[in-house]
Each structure stands twice: as structure tokens, then as C-alpha cells.
Amino acid sequence: MSAGSIPFNRELEFEYDTAARITPLIRRVVANNPSSFTLHGTNTYIVGHGEVAVIDPGPEDETHTQALLTALKRERISHILISHTHTDHSPGAKSLAHATGAPVIGARARPIADGAKTVEAGEKNFTPDIELSDGDSFQGDGWTLTAIHTPGHMSNHHCFELAEETALFSADHV
């Protein structure tokens, strides 16, 4: 089969800012920020039950943040994980952290070249509570997420492996 014969399916059943169960441990909330870069919108993932991690809380958007808080009103966010600092993935972390007290975990963008003062395009003032590194592991009730440094899309890009379901949150690599 040639690469040209593999269909590219752009269809996705979802309702903006509504948590949808994807697997027993994973829920997805799609932000209402469709574009040529985000397709339908940024996918924010909730991992676990009771004590949860939120991966990529999305853009700074009050409606999206409120949707996450509503979906998790009887749960506690223990980790806010950022795959990378493009403005459709990380800015929503500030509001979510402020509302919940959960730490923001991510990596800062790197200089474009040695000694350069300019960083890659993205959230310029991103400052995580905990600096993320390759191999860092985070646990909650019934779940374990491990960070995998995957530069290419951005120097600070990380994927997250969910051991219990053999799943990978690839962020913008797929």
C-alpha cells in the first residue's frame, strides 16, 4: 500500500468543552479553537479518576477552563502536565492552577541558537512550578505517566506514556 492510498480521516465526534470518555482512564475535552494548526481544536486530556492529571489545558480561554473544572468538580487535579509551550497547549495552565492549586509541570522553550536571546514561537513567559525532564514519572490513583522528551515540533516537546493502558499522548507529533 502506498502512502498516497492511506486515507486521512479528519472526522471526530465530539462536543466542544464537554468531557468524553476515550478509554477507562482517559477523557478528552476539545477546546473551541479550531484552526489550520489545531484542526477541530486543542485536545485536553484528563487521566484517572478521583485524583487526576490534566494534559495540555489548552489556550487561555475561560469557557474551556470552566468546562474542565465542571468535568472535575468532584475530583482533585494533582498534576497539570504541559507537552510544549505553543499557545494552544499551555496558557490555560495558569487559570487551572490558580483555581485548583495543582502544580504546572512542563519544560521551558530553549533558545533558537546557542547564546540567542530569542526562544521558539510559543508562550514566552511560561514558567512551570516543576521543570519537566525526560523520564520523569508522575503517579495518581491507578495511573502512571512518564515523560518522553521528543524534540522536533518544538525543543521542549514531551509525549506522555500511560503505563496502565499502553497509551501515548503524542501532543503535536501526530
Active-site positions read 88
For 166, phi and psi rounded to 5 degrees? 45, 50
Interhelix angle 62-71/92-100, rounded to 10 degrees, is: 40
